[in-house]
Structure 1
Amino acid sequence: MPNINSDSVSLTDIDETDKRLLRLLQTEARMSITELAERVNLSATPCARRVKHLEDTGIITGYYTQTNAQKLGYPLAIFIAISMDRHTAERFEQFERKIQSFDEVVSCSIVTGRSEDYLIKVRVRDMAHYEEFLLHRLNRIEGVAQVHTSFELREVFSRSIV
């Protein structure tokens, strides 16, 4: 197994067995160590050590359950580009704290290459829910100067990187 310093891990530090482990865990995180080991041709103990090492170095950051937003009643996905009125650390920190408190927001990124400062992805039940979110919460965050909305027609795919 490669010798990886937890502060500086690069793709070259990950071997093919590690990549196979990551791909398997990304598709089925509840797989037992025994089954995982069989699928990558290792015995259980070295497999468990590799998984622990991937966790310890911060390559594996957690395990979670993927949900179907449509079946949970949130079929509408919206991308919202947000421009801030001022570009100060305090303004951005305040916005980021507030936006994290909204359950509808599933991701938030600072972006470059366009006039907006943030790109968020939101999940809502319907247009009335979106209107309430936009007018009564998002637009009331201090510093939000402008929003531009794009509705997702269909997600082609979403995946994690290995």
Structure 2
Amino acid sequence: MDVVDRKIIAILQAEGRIKMAELSERVGLSPTPCARRVAMLEEAGVISGYSAKVDQAKLGLPVTIFVEVELDNQSTDALQAFERAISKFDQVMECYLMTGTRDILLRVVAKDLSDFDRFLEERLMRVSGIRNTRSSFTLRTMIARRALPRI
């Protein structure tokens, strides 16, 4: 990956719908070689997809909750079972395997506190293997970067 590839990535992270002609002009290539580079970045998995950025509050999901999960067992089978179960829950936006005192960190969205309570009781706490959970509600987002830093 060279400087031009990094420029392409930076521009696409900020403007995913940019036309190839404009992208090629901004990175200093003609459209065909630029399109080839984008295709190679996609094939290599560096660019893993394109999506719209949406405002979760405007979609009726203004509450963000971070849920720390401690499992009974951290074996490979237990982690895989937890991952399979949690992947079915649309409210879980991100799920991380962690180091430290908690095994899993979830980022969950909800309409309100009652909606989150239903999620906990009817979905999350029915997943086998959970020993303990701890939830923290966000008050406001201070920084939310979607583009990775340039390296």
TM-score, structure 2 length as denominator?
0.94
Instruction: Spell out, residue by residue over 1:9-41, the C-alpha distance to the aligned partner (whole angstroms, 9 max, x if none).
Output: xxxxx2121111111111111111111111112
Q: 1:35 aligns with which of 22, 42, 62?
A: 22
Instruction: After superposition, give the CA deviation of every residue in 1:101-144 in whole Å (9 maximum; x if it has no partner).
Output: 011000001011x2110001001000000000011111110001
The number of aligned residues is 148
Distance 1:40 1:16 in 2: 9
Instruction: Name which of 8, 17, 22 aligns with 2:9.
Output: 22
Distance in 1 (CA, whole Å) between partners of 2:135 and 2:147 is 25
Whole-angstrom CA distance in 2 between matches of 1:28 and 1:76? 27
Does residue 1:151 correspond to 2:151, yes or no? no
Q: Find 1:67's aligned residue among 51, 54, 58.
A: 54
Aligned to 2:123: 137
What is the alpha-carbon distance in structure 2 between the residues aligned to residue 24 and residue 77 of structure 1? Answer: 28
Q: In 1, are the aligned partners of 2:93 and 2:107 still within 8 Å (CA)?
A: yes
- Paired with 1:87 and 1:103, the residues of 2 have a C-alpha distance of 24
Identify which range, 76-85 or 151-160, moves more after superposition.
151-160
In structure 1, give the amino acid aligned to 2:69. Answer: I
Within 5 Å, give how 1:101-112 maps onto structure 2: 101-112=88-99
Structure 1 residue 160 corresponds to structure 2 residue 147: yes
Q: SS of the residue aligned with 2:29?
A: coil
The Cα of 1:92 is off from its aligned counterpart by: 1.0
1:58 aligns with 2:81: no
* Counterpart amino acid of residue 51 in structure 1: V
DSSP-derived class of the 2:133 partner: strand
Distance 1:38 1:160 in 2: 21
CA drift of 1:157 comes to: 1.8
Match of 1:118 among 104, 108, 125: 104
| Partner SS for 2:47 | coil
Match of 1:92 among 62, 79, 90: 79
Q: TM-score, normalised by structure 1?
A: 0.87
Identity %: 39
Please give the root-mean-square deviation of Cα atoms over the aligned residues, in Å. 1.0
* Gapped regions of structure 2 (runs ≥ 5): none
2:14 and 2:147 in contact (8 A); partners too: no
Mind listing any 5+ residue stretches in structure 1 that lack a counterpart?
A: 1-13
* 1:160 to partner: Cα distance: 3.2
